Amino acid sequence: MRRFDTAKLAVAVFIASEAVFFAFLIIAYIYYSGATVTGPNAANSLDPARTLVFTVCLLASSGTMWMAERRLASAQATAFRVWLGATILLGTAFMAGQALEYAGLISRTVVPERNLFAATFFTLTGFHGFHVVCGLVALIALFIMAFVRSFGRSEISGVAAISMYWHFVDAVWIFIFSLIYLTVWL
């Protein structure tokens, strides 16, 4: 008889609720992006090419997370730690890119209170960034645990649950990047 995996179920339910929240934020961005605004907008404020570079880091982190899971499943503890460490580094590189983008925008007075574009942009990307940071905290905790003890069935289930969350955060970014940045190029 197959054992019920409560960690995966809990994360799946959490992801579903977060997906609804992200959907509302995306709808708000789409709705307000059609409004006429003076001042900054996506076309005159954002650098999609630069953002694409750190987007690649985040998307690559899904691949490294998948590799980490495969190594854990085959009891290759050292390889698991290497791939998990790579995931953390790539996720951190993404957040560094976001921080640089925010700093550049703020230095040009593109701030949330400036207009609807800035408000919805910072809300949507900031909420996503918060989720990336939460994922990084969980990944770092796993990384530390991987050096302290070996992983049994419950830890492997926890890794799978955190991986689900990480892939969700990456998938959400694909929508956000496409909506905000790729439309600048169209």
- Tell me the per-residue pLDDT of 31-40, one tens digit each, with 9 for 90 and over: 988 888 788 9
Confidence of residue 117 (pLDDT cuts 50, 70, 90): very high
Q: pLDDT tens digits, residue range 123-150?
A: 999 999 999 999 999 999 999 999 998 7
The CATH code for residues 6-185 is 1.20.120.80
Measured distance CA(11)–CA(15) in Å, rounded: 6
What pLDDT, on a 0 to 100 scale, did the predictor assign at position 156?
86
Please tell me the predicted confidence (pLDDT) of residue 3.
Answer: 63
What is the distance between the alpha carbons of residues 47 and 80, in angstroms, rounded to a whole number?
A: 35
Lowest mean pLDDT among 25-39, 57-71, 88-102, 167-181: 25-39
Q: How confident is the model at residue 167 (pLDDT cuts 50, 70, 90)?
A: very high
Residue 152 pLDDT exceeds 80: no
In Å, how far from its chain's centre is CA 100? Answer: 16
Question: What local confidence, expressed as pLDDT, does residue 130 receive?
Answer: 98
**What average pLDDT does the structure give for the chain?**
93
| DSSP secondary structure, 112-174, as one string | TTT-HHHHHHHHHHHHHHHHHHHHHHHHHHHHHHHHHS---HHHHHHHHHHHHHHHHHHHHHH
- Cut 0.95: pTM above it: no
| CB 173, CB 127: distance < 8 Å | no
pLDDT band at residue 4 under the 50/70/90 scheme: low
Burial of 27 (0-12, 13-18, 19+ CB in 10 A): exposed
Q: Hey, what are 47's tokens?
A: 């650098």
